[in-house]
A and B are shown apart, each in its own frame.
Chain A
Amino acid sequence: MNLVVFFVVAVVAVASALALVLRRNPIHGALFLVVNLGCVAVLYLLLSAEFLALAQVIIYAGAIMVLFVFAIMVLIPGKEETGPDPLRPQRLLALPLGAVLLLEIALILKSSVFQAAQPVAPPPALPAGAGGIETVGRLLLRDYLFPFEVTSVLLLAALVGVLALAKRKAG
Chain B
Amino acid sequence: MSNTVWLIPLFPLLGTLLNALFGRWIGRHAHWIAVPALACSFLLSGAVFLRVWNGETFRGDLFPWIEAGTFRTAVTAQVDPLAAVMLLVVTGVGFLIHLYSAGYMHGDPGYARYFTYLNLFVFSMVMLVLAGNFLVLYVFWEAVGLCSYLLIGFWYTRKSAADAGKKAFIVNRVGDFGFGLGVMALWVALGTLDYGTVFDEVETLSPETATVIALLLFMGACGKSAQLPLHTWLPDAMEGPTPVSALIHAATMVTAGVYMVARTHALFERSGVALDVVAWVGGLTALFAATIGLAQTDIKRVLAYSTISQLGYMFAGVGVGAYAAGIFHLVTHAFFKALLFLGAGSVIHAQGGEQDLRKMGGLAPRMVLTTITFLVGAAGLAGLPPFAGFFSKDEILASTYHRGRLWLWALLLLGAFLTAVYIFRVVLLAFFGGPRMSKEVAHHLHESPPVMTLPLGALALLTAVAGVAVGMPSTQGTAFARFLSPVFPLSEEVGHGGLSAYALLVLSVIVAVVGLLFAWLLYGSRPIKVEAIGRPRNRLHALLLNKYYVDELYGFLFVRPLLRVAGFCARVFDLGFIDGIVNGLGQLVVGWARSMRRLQTGYVMNYALMTLLGAVVIVGFLLSR
Report the Cα distance A105→B536, complex, angstroms.
Answer: 103
What count of chain B residues pass the 8 Å CB interface test?
11
What is the predominant secondary structure among interface residues of chain A facing chain B? helix
B613 within 8 A of A: yes
Report the Cα distance A107→B625, complex, angstroms.
Answer: 13
Report the Cα distance A104→B620, complex, angstroms.
Answer: 7
> Do A107 and B616 have beta carbons less than 8 Å apart?
no
A101 within 8 A of B: yes
- The residue that B612 contacts in the complex, of A87, A101, A105, A108, with Cβ under 8 A, is A101
> Do B623 and A108 have beta carbons less than 8 Å apart?
yes
* Binary CB contact string for chain B from 590 to 625 against chain A (1 if under 8 A, 0 otherwise): 000000000000010110010011011001100100
CB distance from B282 to the nearest CB of A (A): 57
CB distance from B600 to the nearest CB of A (A): 14
- Known interface pairs A87-B603, A87-B605, A90-B605; A100-B623 also in contact (CB < 8 Å): no
> Do B613 and A97 have beta carbons less than 8 Å apart?
yes
Chain A residues lying within 8 Å of B623, measured Cβ to Cβ, are: 104, 107-108
User: Which A91-108 residues have C-beta < 8 A from chain B?
Assistant: 91, 93-94, 97-98, 100-101, 104-105, 107-108
The residue of chain A having its C-beta at the shortest distance from the C-beta of B605 within the complex is: A87
- The residue that A101 contacts in the complex, of B603, B605, B606, B615, with Cβ under 8 A, is B615
CB distance from B289 to the nearest CB of A (A): 55
Report the Cα distance A145→B491, complex, angstroms.
Answer: 82
> Do A94 and B616 have beta carbons less than 8 Å apart?
no
Chain B residues lying within 8 Å of A108, measured Cβ to Cβ, are: 623
> Do A90 and B606 have beta carbons less than 8 Å apart?
yes
Chain B residues lying within 8 Å of A94, measured Cβ to Cβ, are: 609, 612
The residue of chain B having its C-beta at the shortest distance from the C-beta of A101 within the complex is: B616
Chain A residues lying within 8 Å of B613, measured Cβ to Cβ, are: 97
The residue of chain A having its C-beta at the shortest distance from the C-beta of B608 within the complex is: A94
> Do A90 and B619 have beta carbons less than 8 Å apart?
no
Our count of residue pairs bridging A and B at CB distance below 8 angstroms stands at 28
CB distance from B607 to the nearest CB of A (A): 11
The residue of chain B having its C-beta at the shortest distance from the C-beta of A107 within the complex is: B623
CB distance from B220 to the nearest CB of A (A): 46
> Do A97 and B606 have beta carbons less than 8 Å apart?
no
Report the Cα distance A7→B613, complex, angstroms.
Answer: 31
Report the Cα distance A94→B623, complex, angstroms.
Answer: 21
Report the Cα distance A22→B612, complex, angstroms.
Answer: 19
Chain B residues lying within 8 Å of A107, measured Cβ to Cβ, are: 623
Chain B residues lying within 8 Å of A90, measured Cβ to Cβ, are: 605-606, 609
User: Which B510-568 residues have C-beta < 8 A from chain A?
Assistant: none
Report the Cα distance A90→B608, complex, angstroms.
Answer: 11
Report the Cα distance A90→B607, complex, angstroms.
Answer: 11
The residue of chain A having its C-beta at the shortest distance from the C-beta of B619 within the complex is: A104
> Do B605 and A97 have beta carbons less than 8 Å apart?
no
CB distance from B614 to the nearest CB of A (A): 10
CB distance from B153 to the nearest CB of A (A): 44
> Do B616 and A100 have beta carbons less than 8 Å apart?
yes
> Do B619 and A101 have beta carbons less than 8 Å apart?
yes
Chain B residues lying within 8 Å of A87, measured Cβ to Cβ, are: 603, 605-606
CB distance from A85 to the nearest CB of B (A): 10
Report the Cα distance A65→B619, complex, angstroms.
Answer: 32
Report the Cα distance A91→B613, complex, angstroms.
Answer: 13
Report the Cα distance A97→B615, complex, angstroms.
Answer: 10
Report the Cα distance A93→B623, complex, angstroms.
Answer: 22
> Do B620 and A100 have beta carbons less than 8 Å apart?
yes
Chain A residues lying within 8 Å of B612, measured Cβ to Cβ, are: 94, 97-98, 101
Chain B residues lying within 8 Å of A105, measured Cβ to Cβ, are: 619
- What 6 A-B pairs are tightest by C-beta distance, nearest first? A104-B619, A100-B616, A97-B612, A101-B616, A97-B616, A104-B620
5 A-B pairs in the complex with CB atoms less than 8 angstroms apart: A93-B609, A97-B612, A97-B613, A97-B616, A104-B623
Using CB atoms and an 8 Å cutoff, list the residues of chain B in contact with chain A: 603, 605-606, 609, 612-613, 615-616, 619-620, 623
Besides A87-B603, A87-B605, 10 other A-B contacts (C-beta < 8 A): A87-B606, A90-B606, A90-B609, A97-B612, A98-B612, A100-B616, A101-B615, A101-B616, A104-B623, A105-B619
